């Protein structure tokens, strides 16, 4: 055999070994992929079971609220009715009408108001005095 045949034979053997290794690697990866698919299927089934159990629990849930304590509300309403009844029993108060003339109203207690009212009072008195004196002078002349 010559050198070319030996080298070709070795190259072919190496290629054959590489293809066998590649084939084994592919088979190994396919097995691992199938295992992962099986794991994924079992997890999906488990999730479906959990969702179904949650939906069942959610459908059968019951909320029980305690009875409210209305005693304070009833007491407040009762007190209000008692006050209304007492007011009705007292009867209407008589209306007292008073006519009063005040220079200084009770609601307004400002010094400015007093000053204005006193000025007006002084001017009204002076004006009245002037009118009376004018009338007397005119009567004496006529």
pLDDT digits (tens, 9 = 90+) for 78-114: 999 898 888 887 877 778 888 877 766 667 667 777 7
What's the mean pLDDT in 37-49?
A: 92
Residue with tokens 């999906």: 44
User: Cα(76)–Cα(84) distance, rounded to whole angstroms?
Assistant: 12
Q: What is the pTM of this model?
A: 0.36
Measured CA distances, 43 to 40, 46, 53 (Å) = 5, 5, 15
Q: Kindly report the CA angle at 100 between 97 and 103, in degrees rounded to 5?
A: 155
The pair of structure tokens assigned to 38 is 């099986």
Residue with tokens 């007006």: 120
User: Mind spelling out the 3-state secondary structure of 49-101?
Assistant: HHHHHHHHHHHCCCCCCCCCCCHHHHHHHHHHHHHHHHHHHHCCCCCCCCCCC
Predicted pLDDT of residue 23: 95
């Amino acid at each position: 055999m010559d050198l070319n045949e030996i080298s070709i034979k070795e190259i072919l053997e190496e290629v054959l070994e590489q293809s066998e290794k590649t084939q084994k690697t592919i088979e190994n990866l396919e097995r691992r992929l199938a295992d992962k698919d099986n794991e994924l299927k079992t997890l999906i089934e488990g999730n479906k079971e959990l969702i179904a159990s949650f939906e069942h629990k959610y459908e059968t849930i019951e909320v029980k609220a305690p009875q409210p304590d209305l005693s304070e509300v009833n007491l407040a309403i009762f007190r209000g009715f008692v006050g209304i009844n007492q007011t009705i029993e007292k009867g209407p108060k008589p209306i007292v009408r008073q006519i009063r003339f005040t220079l200084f109203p009770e609601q307004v207690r400002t010094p400015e108001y007093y000053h204005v009212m006193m000025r007006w009072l002084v001017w009204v008195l002076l004006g009245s005095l002037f009118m009376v004196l004018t009338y007397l002078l005119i009567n004496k002349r006529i």
